[in-house]
Amino acid sequence: MLDRATAETYAGWFRALADPTRVQILNLLASTEDPMTVGEVVERVAVGQSTVSAHLKILTEARFVLAEARGTARLYRVNQRCLSCFPTAADVVMGRQAVAFTDVACEAAS
């Protein structure tokens, strides 16, 4: 059985992906090589800037996305470390394997 801290971490990850727009944004960032501004994301996803900003905030808090200030803009990119942990989390929750890594908290990539 999962310990409470691990279960809370995984639940936060699943909550962050509980919206189709956030899934689209994460997929967009994961499939592009260069970081993107909010405006660039807005151009590719059919929602307004304030909505994209709110979704990026949630994805950043869950550590699926990393934000970097560059001048007056913020650039967003996928956190590869966190994305590599997530499939393992889904398998663990579904009872398909034991916890395979010691630090389940997804850390920001350097």
CATH number for position 63? 1.10.10.10
The two tokens of residue 2 are 């999962």
Domain tally, the chain: 1
Q: Which domain holds residue 14?
A: 4-93
User: What pTM does this model have?
Assistant: 0.80
H helix runs in 4-48, sequence order: 4-16, 20-30, 38-44
For 19-51, the pLDDT digits (tens) are: 999 999 999 999 999 999 999 999 999 899 999
What is the structure's pLDDT at 100? Answer: 47
The whole-number pLDDT of residue 109 equals 39
Q: Is residue 101 part of a domain?
A: no
